[in-house]
């Protein structure tokens, strides 16, 4: 099956030549700029100073050689970008066979792709209405080719993967289909448990219990005072007077 039988969005990978193809980095033989340069060089060689003519010829040769190298590099970048975009389209179709088989889904996704490419061109300062050399309004293929050109030259525009996924999401959102959240493949680390060797803080947090050595002992109850008779009271009084006099009484 061809890519159109599969329902691939052709606007995502257009490589045909058309009037919208942006100018290559350097002039090539046959274009007006190249012809003007040749005429100037001929006049210098014919009427100018020999040293000036030699320098002009050398500069022209170097510029032509550099232009050829730059064009070859540009053509290779365009070729690689086209091949990469074709692979992205194939992967997208394989991953979304229901959308690829649905003509309405294809039309909606192509329309969304066109809008995204126009947004990108405007974001880098390109007027999409002026990309055709003949001044005609651009077609979706013209926009796609211009977008491919600026991708290949390193401008800040979205990749085919980003555009296709965004276009699909916009279509599904229009249909009311909610996008399922993508699970985070990053493994989660187990909770970290810090072990503190210093137990000072832990000891301070423990309620202090009074030790047995520091526990005040209850005082013994005072012995009950025995009743005294008259003779014992008189004896105590005599003893007290004798102590004041320095006399020790016998018992």
Instruction: Map tokens 């192509």 to a residue.
Output: 110
Here the tokens at position 102 are 């649905």
SS3 (DSSP) at 41: helix
Separation CA 177–CA 88 (nearest Å): 23
* pLDDT bucket at 213, cuts 50 / 70 / 90: low
Query: 39, 64, 95 — which closes off a domain?
Result: 95
Average pLDDT of the segment spanning 196-219: 61
Same domain for 75 and 130, yes or no, is no
Helices (H) and strands (E) in the chain, counts: 8, 0
Q: CA–CA separation, 41 vs 48, rounded Å?
A: 10
Percent of all residues in the chain with a pLDDT value above 90, rounded to a whole number: 39
User: What is the distance between the terminal CA atoms of the chain, rounded to a whole angstrom?
Assistant: 140
User: Can you state the angle between helices 50-95 and 140-152, rounded to 10 degrees?
Assistant: 110
Both 56 and 111 in a single domain?
no
For residue range 113-160, list pLDDT tens digits in order. 999 999 999 999 999 999 999 999 999 999 999 999 999 999 999 999
Query: What domain count does the chain have?
Result: 2
The dihedral region occupied by 131, where left means phi > 0, alpha psi between -120 and 50, and beta the remainder, is: alpha
Residues 124 and 168 reside in one and the same domain: yes
Last residue of a domain, one of 152, 179, 206: 179
67 and 109 share a domain?
Answer: no
pLDDT confidence of residue 58: 74
SS percent in the chain: helix, strand, coil, step 5: 55, 0, 45
125 located within any domain: yes
Q: 165 and 126: one domain?
A: yes
Residue 215 in domain? no
- Write out the residue range of the structural domain in which residue 48 sits: 24-95
Predicted model pTM: 0.54
């Amino acid at each position: 099956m061809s890519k159109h039988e599969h329902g691939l969005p052709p606007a995502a990978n257009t490589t045909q030549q058309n009037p919208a193809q942006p100018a290559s980095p350097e002039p090539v033989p046959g274009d007006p700029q190249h012809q003007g340069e040749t005429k100037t060089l001929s006049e210098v060689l014919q009427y100018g100073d020999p040293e000036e003519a030699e320098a002009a010829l050398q500069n022209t040769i170097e510029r032509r050689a550099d232009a050829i190298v730059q064009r070859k590099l540009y053509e290779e970048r365009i070729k690689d970008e086209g091949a990469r975009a074709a692979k992205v389209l194939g992967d997208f179709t394989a991953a979304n066979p229901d959308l690829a088989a649905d003509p309405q889904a294809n039309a909606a996704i192509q329309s969304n792709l066109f809008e995204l490419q126009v947004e990108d061109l405007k974001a880098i300062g390109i007027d999409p209405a002026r990309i055709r050399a003949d001044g005609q309004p651009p077609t979706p293929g013209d926009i796609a080719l211009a977008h491919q050109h600026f991708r290949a030259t390193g401008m800040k525009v979205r990749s085919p993967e980003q555009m296709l996924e965004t276009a699909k999401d916009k279509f599904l959102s229009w249909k009311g289909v909610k996008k399922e959240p993508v699970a985070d493949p990053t493994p989660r680390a187990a909770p970290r448990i810090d072990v503190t060797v210093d137990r000072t803080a832990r000891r301070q947090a423990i309620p202090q219990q009074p030790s047995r050595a520091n526990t005040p002992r209850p005082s013994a109850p005072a012995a009950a005072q025995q009743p005294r008779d008259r003779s014992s009271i008189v004896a105590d009084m005599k003893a007290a007077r004798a102590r004041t006099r320095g006399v020790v009484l016998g018992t």
